[in-house]
């Protein structure tokens, strides 16, 4: 409760810098490859999103890793739409992905669509069939599953496994020609039904889907499976290091098998890293899409969403997100990162960059009874306490002011130094004011404070007569600008079992009073609302006549190193 604490503008508790993850095991592997000239002097990475939703903060980790790795080695990084699944993909997502990657500060060397390789992939499948390494199977999905075996038991071979090459070629051609319904037949790699790795037990590599594809339209009714398509995509593009998340570790033998059977020279190397998990955050695109479809949130760019679009609208900066991704580093084991670290990075970035404004979120009227009725003074305020270069502005002061309701207590608790009857307080950038009378309505609610000011104590006058312990901010009532402020809590809160559940109170909307200069705020402008937190003028809802602000992050940090 102590005033001094409330006044803290930066998070002293986390002042010590986190050491940047020094040991990036992926870079060590690349160093070795360069030493042994596995790919000559080349380093070529890619970021391969599936355009079935908006990118989220987890993708940001992958984007930063792939692009900065290419930068570090003077290599290249492709943006590739992994759009081999026709059903869930959409051009809206394609557009958003490009905007998000650019906004994060990266520029791809090439932009590719995996679906442009469908012809090549089909050829590759035919090649495998001709080598006797793939066969058309009539088992349905359930039967295939039943044949697959378990971790401790080998699988059973499909009765269709020994079809001749000619038969397989003819059937695969018929699959392509649309002769069969979805699920009626699949193409499977012929590997080893007793492999200890279940992914190697004759995995499905092509399936039938009579669906219109966002890029290839109705040209195809068979589509390659991820495990078959991905290594081919990488190889076609000359990728050297194919970085993906840990759940694909068990798929690596299949990745290597595909390229080996196709005799691909200089086959890319798949390297897995731990995906980002954040407290109070759900990142599955499927779940995020459901939140949008069910109108739980406004849209994909709702400021509460962990999407890049949401974080951008919320006011997070690309610099802060990149800093966060660097600090968390890359590991080979899954872990949970505190969302407060991300918030800390945002604060650190904004601290010296944005101007301060006075805003009263929960107003209480103050009448300065000894201040002339028709007088207004322009008070000089610094724009950023930590960065003098940001200069000063002037703020009007007159007889009627707004202060925060919780800067007053009729019966003060111990160590409360702000307004209470008889106490003198510094009004930041103006004067010392003493609270004399409390005006209440019929129900006993405090509606007004009557104070007197001491002209001697004007800010900047060098007054040293006496000290006061409390400093509060204020807004001139006559010139105050009404704004709407949206404050956020986490969208997800853990229940007793630690499982994330929707927080029913993740947004609070307030009508607030701001100093008149807030009128100049353009959509996307960020400020520190003095003593309150960082805010951004909403890019969708803010207009010239009425400003709507989103809380970016509060001032105090709960992040512990």
Scan residues 65-94 and list those touching ligand ATP (CB under 6 A).
82
Site string for ligand ATP, 171-210 (x = CB under 6 A): ----------------------------------------
Q: Is 285 a catalytic residue?
A: yes
Residue 284 is a binding residue for ligand ATP (CB under 6 A): yes
| CA–CA dist 429, 352 (Å, integer) | 20
SS (H, E, C) 349-391: HHCCCCEEECEECCEEEEEECCCCCCCCEEEEEECCCCCHHHC
Residue 285 is a binding residue for ligand ATP (CB under 6 A): yes
The alpha-carbon radius of gyration of the chain (Å, integer) is 31
Pick 231 or 429: Cβ nearer Mg ion: 231
Q: Is 511 a catalytic residue?
A: no
Q: What is the largest CA-CA distance in the chain?
A: 102
- In terms of phi and psi (left: phi > 0; alpha: psi -120 to 50; beta: otherwise), the region of 483 is beta
| CA–CA dist 173, 431 (Å, integer) | 86
Which residue in 190, 285, 312, 428 is the catalytic one?
285
Site string for ligand ATP, 129-168 (x = CB under 6 A): ----------------------------------------
**Nearest approach, Cβ of residue 57 and ligand ATP (Å):** 8
| Near ligand ATP by CB under 6 A: residue from 88, 275, 327, 458 | 275
| CA–CA dist 375, 320 (Å, integer) | 44
Which residue in 50, 127, 261, 319 is the catalytic one?
50
Pick 50 or 489: Cβ nearer Mg ion: 50
Contact of 225 with 206, CB cutoff 8 Å: yes
SS (H, E, C) 260-293: HHCCCCCCCEEEEECCEEECCCCCCHHHHHHHHH
Pick 106 or 371: Cβ nearer ligand ATP: 106
**Nearest approach, Cβ of residue 253 and ligand ATP (Å):** 18
Pick 228 or 397: Cβ nearer ligand ATP: 228
Contact of 484 with 549, CB cutoff 8 Å: yes
CA 30 from centroid of its chain's CA atoms: 28
Single out the residue of 275, 264, 390 nearest to residue 333, CA to CA: 275
CA 143 from centroid of its chain's CA atoms: 40
* Beta strands per DSSP E along 441-558: 446-454, 471-472, 475-476, 481-488, 492-494, 500-502, 507-514, 526-529, 533-537, 548-554
> Helix or strand or coil: residue 472?
strand
Pick 243 or 537: Cβ nearer ligand ATP: 243
Q: Is 314 a catalytic residue?
A: no
Residues that bind Mg ion (CB under 5 A): 50
Residue 283 is a binding residue for ligand ATP (CB under 6 A): yes
Site string for ligand ATP, 219-248 (x = CB under 6 A): -------------------------xx---
* Window contacting ligand ATP (CB under 6 A); options: 138-146, 279-287, 484-492, 512-520: 279-287
By rule CB under 6 A, what count of residues binds ligand ATP?
Answer: 15
**Which residues form the catalytic set?**
50, 275, 285
Residues that bind ligand ATP (CB under 6 A): 48-50, 58-59, 61-62, 82, 244-245, 275-276, 283-285
């Amino acid at each position: 409760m102590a005033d001094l604490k409330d006044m803290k503008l930066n998070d002293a508790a986390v002042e010590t810098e986190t050491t940047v993850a020094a040991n990036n095991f992926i870079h060590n592997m690349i160093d070795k490859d360069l030493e042994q000239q596995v790919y000559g002097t080349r380093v070529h990475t890619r970021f391969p999103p599936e355009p079935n939703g908006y990118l989220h903060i987890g993708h940001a980790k992958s984007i930063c890793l792939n692009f900065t790795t290419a930068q570090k080695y003077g290599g290249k990084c492709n943006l590739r739409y992994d759009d081999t699944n026709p059903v869930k993909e959409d051009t809206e997502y394609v557009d958003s992905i490009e905007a998000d990657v650019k906004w994060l500060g990266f520029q791809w060397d090439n932009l590719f669509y995996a679906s442009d390789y469908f012809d090549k992939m089909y050829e590759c499948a035919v090649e495998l069939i001709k080598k006797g390494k793939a066969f058309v199977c009539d088992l349905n999905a359930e039967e295939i599953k039943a044949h697959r075996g378990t971790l401790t038991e080998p699988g059973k071979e499909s009765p269709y496994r020994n079809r001749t090459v000619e038969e397989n070629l003819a059937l695969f051609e018929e699959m392509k020609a649309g002769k069969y319904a979805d699920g009626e037949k699949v193409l499977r790699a012929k590997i080893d039904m007793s492999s200890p790795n279940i992914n190697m037990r004759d995995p499905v590599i092509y399936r039938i889907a009579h669906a219109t594809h966002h890029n290839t339209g109705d040209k195809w009714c068979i589509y390659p499976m991820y495990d078959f398509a991905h290594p081919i995509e990488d190889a076609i593009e000359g990728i050297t290091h194919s970085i993906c998340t840990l759940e694909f570790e068990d798929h690596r033998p299949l990745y290597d098998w595909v390229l080996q059977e196709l005799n691909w020279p200089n086959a890319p190397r798949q390297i897995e890293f731990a995906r980002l998990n954040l407290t109070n955050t759900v990142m599955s695109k499927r779940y995020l899409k459901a939140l949008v479809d069910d109108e739980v949130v406004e849209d994909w760019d709702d400021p509460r969403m962990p999407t890049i679009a949401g974080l951008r609208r919320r006011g997070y900066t690309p610099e802060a997100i990149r800093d966060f991704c660097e600090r968390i580093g890359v590991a080979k084991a899954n872990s949970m990162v505190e969302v407060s670290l991300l918030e800390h990075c945002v604060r650190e970035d904004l601290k010296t960059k944005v101007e301060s404004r006075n805003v009263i979120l929960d107003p209480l009227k103050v009448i300065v009874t000894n201040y002339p009725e028709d007088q207004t003074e322009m008070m000089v305020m610094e724009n950023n306490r930590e960065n003098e270069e940001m200069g000063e502005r002037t703020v009007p002061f007159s007889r009627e002011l707004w202060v925060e309701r919780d800067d007053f207590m009729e019966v003060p608790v111990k160590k409360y130094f702000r307004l209470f009857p008889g106490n003198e307080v510094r009004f930041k950038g103006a004067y010392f004011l003493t609270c004399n009378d409390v005006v209440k309505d019929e129900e006993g609610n405090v509606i007004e404070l009557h104070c007197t000011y001491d002209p001697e104590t004007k800010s900047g006058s060098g007054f040293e007569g006496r000290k006061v312990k409390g400093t509060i901010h204020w807004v001139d009532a006559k010139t105050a600008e009404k704004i709407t402020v949206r404050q956020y809590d986490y969208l997800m809160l853990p229940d007793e079992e630690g499982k994330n559940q929707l927080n029913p109170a993740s947004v609070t909307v307030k009508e607030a009073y701001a100093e008149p200069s807030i009128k100049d705020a353009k959509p996307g402008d960020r400020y520190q609302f003095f003593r309150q937190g960082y805010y951004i003028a909403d890019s969708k809802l803010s207009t010239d006549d009425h400003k709507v602000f989103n809380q970016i992050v509060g001032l105090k940090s709960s992040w512990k190193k």
